[in-house]
Amino acid sequence: MRKLFKIFALVLFAILVVYGAFYTRRLVEMRKARASQKKEASPPPKVYVHRIQKKTLERIEEITGNVKAFAEVNVVPKVTGRLERLRLPNGKLLEEGDEVKKGDVIAIIEHSALEAAVQQSRAAIEVAKASYERAKVNLEDSEREKKRWESVYERGATSEQQRDQAVMAYKRSLADLSLCKSQIEQTQAALFQADVNLKEATIATPTSGTISQKFVDEGNMVGLGTPLVKISQIDTVKVVADVSERHLPFIVQGKTPVRIVSDSLPDREFTGTVFMVGVGLDAHTRTGQIEIRVPNPERRLRPGMFTRMNIVLERHKDVPVVPDAALIRRGEDIFTYVVNNSRIHSSRLVLGISEGDYHEVLEGLQPGDMVIVSGQRLLKENDMVETAEEERQ
């Protein structure tokens, strides 16, 4: 009887185990079904999208430079003396910043000593001419005496010594006449130099421009090598900058555009073109020098100003671009999520140049594609999404 009871208990236990396993499995399946129904019933996540369009992008390098005058000339006197006048043609005292035109008389060196030198040279010419006339008369007399003594000598009425003395006197008179002629030429040359010095004492500007520096004041003694003022041409200025050697191959002389700003003029942007690319490189900094010519009709850019420049190394026109917010980086690879019929799929991208928040797309997207720019972090391949246009393009 006890053995029969044990068998019955084992059978009952086996039935309970089987029933429990079946019930548990059924419960799990019911829970999964309810979860699946709940998931299918919930709306897809909302994401913001951007439609791929074409734009023109520029690869820009920011560098610094210094402004220089287009041309500079020091006005230096060619004569020595006291600076009698340093003024504009209208009589205003010459100061830095004044504008002058080519040929304007701006300085006069004291004339009295120079005028005296001219008068002295003219008087010396008159003396030399008088000496020449006297020598000419003496030559005529000595020539007659020479002929007379030669005739007397031929008749045997005088000695050879007397004849030779007359010939020597004639030669001396001839030499005196030549000397007087040379003295006239010498004094004429001195007069010419004195006239030149007098004219050089009136100093005119050799070029048009702006007085950028004044070295002396009226009343000072000046001479050769003493600059009076510096004239700078700044209607067009030069901006000189050093560029890394890796960027130089992208800079085309006469074509590459540059945008220039100065901290002194924060409200203005100037544009220019690279005029010259230096041939050599600095061995220490590995940079090459470039020169930009910038129109400056208002003369707001001044020599010595420090500038910041954006130089356009590359310009790609009408290329498809993708915003930075759409990019997903996985190691060295770059992806984006593309929405098609409310489902997403990832696309691997190959990018070109960048400007601001936009990147050139070389491979992976076409104009018109919609990419997710917000809400993509928790998504996975083939998910359903609800899309809305991004709030700010």
Query: pLDDT digit string (tens) for 126-168?
Result: 888 888 888 888 888 888 877 887 787 777 777 778 877 878 8
Spell out, as residue ranges, where the chain has pLDDT lower than 70. 1-23, 27-28, 32-42, 390-393
DSSP-assigned letter for residue 5? H
* Structure confidence at residue 70 (pLDDT): 92
User: Are residues 119 and 196 located together in one domain of the fold?
Assistant: yes
Give a yes or no: residue 97 inside a domain: yes
Looking at the structure, do residues 144 and 161 belong to the same domain, yes or no?
yes
CA angle 140, 142, 148 (to 5 degrees): 105
Rounded-to-integer distance, Cα 319 and Cα 392, Å: 20
67, amino acid identity:
V
Q: Say whether pTM exceeds 0.75.
A: no
One domain for residues 118 and 101: no
pLDDT digit string, tens, across residues 215-262:
999 989 998 888 999 999 999 999 999 999 999 999 999 999 999 999
Task: Measure the CA–CA gap between 174 and 136, rounded to whole angstroms.
Answer: 8
Q: Are 257 and 299 within one domain? A: yes
- Whether 90 and 220 map to the same domain: the answer is yes
Determine the structural domain holding residue 94 and report its residue range.
77-107+204-227
User: In whole angstroms, what is the distance from residue 273 CA to residue 300 CA?
Assistant: 18
In angstroms, the CA 26 to CA 217 distance is 110
The number of folded domains in the chain is 4
Flag whether 290 is in a domain.
yes
Say if residue 222 is in the same domain as residue 84: yes
* pLDDT at 241 (0 to 100): 93
What integer pLDDT is reported at residue 393 of this predicted model? Answer: 41
Look-up of token digits 């992008």: 57
Task: Determine, yes or no, domain membership for 284.
Answer: yes
Tally of CB atoms within 10 A around 214: 17
- Shared-domain flag, residues 134 and 267: no
Which domain-ending residue is among 315, 338, 356?
A: 315
Residues 264 and 279 in one domain: yes
The enclosing domain of 329 has a CATH number of 2.40.420.20
Which residue in 212, 206, 188 sits closest to 78, CA to CA? 206
Residue 125 lies in a domain: yes
Q: Is residue 262 part of a domain?
A: yes
Assigned domain for 15 exists: no
Instruction: Indicate whether 375 belongs to any domain.
Output: yes
134 three-class SS: helix
Tokens linked to 66: 């210094």
Report how far residue 17's alpha carbon sits from residue 298's, in angstroms, rounded to the nearest whole number. Answer: 99
**Has residue 34 been placed in a domain?**
no
H helices present in 42-159, as ranges: 112-154
User: Is 192 in the same domain as 268?
Assistant: no
Of 287, 315, 343, the one marking the end of a domain is: 315
Q: Which residues pair with 47 in a beta bridge?
A: 387
186-195 long-range contacts, CB within 8 A, separation 24+ = 186/128, 187/121, 187/124, 187/125, 187/127, 187/128, 188/125, 190/121, 190/124, 191/118, 191/121, 191/122, 191/124, 191/125, 193/121, 194/114, 194/117, 194/118, 194/120, 194/121, 195/118
Q: How distant is the alpha carbon of residue 116 from its chain centre?
A: 51
One domain, residues 377 and 322? yes
Which residues have CB under 8 Å from 31's CB, separation 6+?
Answer: none
8 A C-beta contact, residue 287 and residue 281: yes
Here the CATH number for the domain that contains residue 308 is 2.40.30.170
**Same domain for 218 and 95:** yes
